[in-house]
Amino acid sequence: MHARRDDGYEIATDPHRLDLDTVHRWLSEDAYWSRGRSRAKTEQAVRGSLNYGVYAPDGAQAGYGRVITDKATFAWLCDVYIDPAQRGRGLGSWLATTIRDHLTTYPLTRIMLATADAHTLYAKAGFTPVPDPTELMLLRPDPAP
């Protein structure tokens, strides 16, 4: 999958384009949900996911997001991050919308995510709060990031 804006920003699912050093630094040092994540865990997560890289006009990594999915019924959107120097350009909303649109190629019945601070961004892409959170349960066998 590849998308390009008129200003030269791109989103691509080619895992070979990812600057894994940068993605790992963002996730392990800055992202509240994954601070302290090991490099090995980041690499394993990337290998097991559908990855979306956001790239600046010069080709540099500007953002990242990944989806865990069976490509039949369910997808989990996670690790969405935009480089602080690139924020304010609508890249987060564009990434969420592009991922949503790309996932329509699969017969999914549910796409979920968790966020503590980006509800408005995801609402722009059509996400809504879970109607009855008591229907969801959580098991954390490994509480580490």
pLDDT of residue 145: 58
* CATH code of the domain in which 54 resides: 3.40.630.30
Regarding pTM above 0.95, the answer is no
Residue 8 pLDDT greater than 70, yes or no: yes
Instruction: Confirm if 93 and 83 have CB atoms less than 8 A apart.
Output: no
pLDDT tens across 51-104, in order?
999 999 999 999 999 999 999 999 999 999 999 999 999 999 999 999 999 999
Question: What is the arithmetic mean of pLDDT over 42-59?
Answer: 98
Averaged confidence pLDDT in the chain: 95
Instruction: Confirm if 92 and 118 have CB atoms less than 8 A apart.
Output: yes
> Is 143 inside a domain boundary?
no
> Is 30 inside a domain boundary?
yes
> Is 137 inside a domain boundary?
no
Q: 13 lies in which domain range? A: 2-126
> Is 136 inside a domain boundary?
no
**Nearest residue to 76 via CA among 131, 132, 35, 136:** 136
> Is 131 inside a domain boundary?
no
Q: How many domains does the chain have?
A: 1
> Is 141 inside a domain boundary?
no
> Is 139 inside a domain boundary?
no
Q: How far apart are CA 46 and CA 66, in angstroms?
A: 8
> Is 63 inside a domain boundary?
yes
Residue 143 pLDDT greater than 80, yes or no: no
Report the half-sphere exposure of 101 (CA within 13 A, side-chain side).
Answer: 12
Question: What is the arithmetic mean of pLDDT over 17-43?
Answer: 97
Cα torsion 53, 55, 61, 64: sign: negative
Give the type of residue at 142.
D
